[in-house]
Amino acid sequence: MQPKLFRIILLVSDIDRAAVFYEAVLGTAGQRVSKGRHYFTDSGGTIVACLDPQADGDSSDPQPNVEWIYFAVDDVEEAHATCISAGATSSPGEVHGAPAGQVVVRPWGERSVYLEDPFGNKICLVDRETMFLGT
């Protein structure tokens, strides 16, 4: 049997703020599972988990993910506006030869925009209709 990706962790420094941000982004309230963990289980079969390690009793400082987390959305412009309103920032510079913080068609055909959540985690919003799934 092949392994199945079931959870991704986004390290944050304020679990309450993260819950509010990702509730806006994902359109669901999620569930607090410990003092420092908030899980969003309605994410297409993979749990999006926000973790504030210090709130959960760990002494380590949260560091943002260095790689992108990709979310498929029905309306990339609307999702982009929602993220910005909730506290995301447009990623500076270019990604794959195009402005990161603007909705553009990438070289492999996806319409997307690259952002950073309020904690510096890199997220990308991809138009569901243009997702590259291999072929």
How much is the pTM? 0.92
Lookup result for tokens 């679990």: 15
Note down the domain range covering 26.
7-51
One domain for residues 47 and 83: no
Q: Is 58 strand, coil or helix?
A: coil
What is the number of domains present in the chain? 2
In a domain, 35, yes or no: yes
In a domain, 2, yes or no: no
Give the closest residue to 87 by CA, choosing from 25, 1, 9, 135.
25
Residue pLDDT, tens place only, 55-87: 999 998 999 999 999 999 999 999 999 999 999
Rounded Cα gap, residues 96 and 118, in angstroms: 23
One domain for residues 43 and 74: no
Greater confidence (134 vs 51) lies with: 51
In a domain, 63, yes or no: no
One domain for residues 77 and 46: no
Residue pLDDT, tens place only, 106-126: 988 999 999 999 999 999 999
Report the share of the chain in percent with pLDDT over 70: 100
In a domain, 56, yes or no: no
Give the closest residue to 88 by CA, choosing from 119, 48, 52, 128.
119
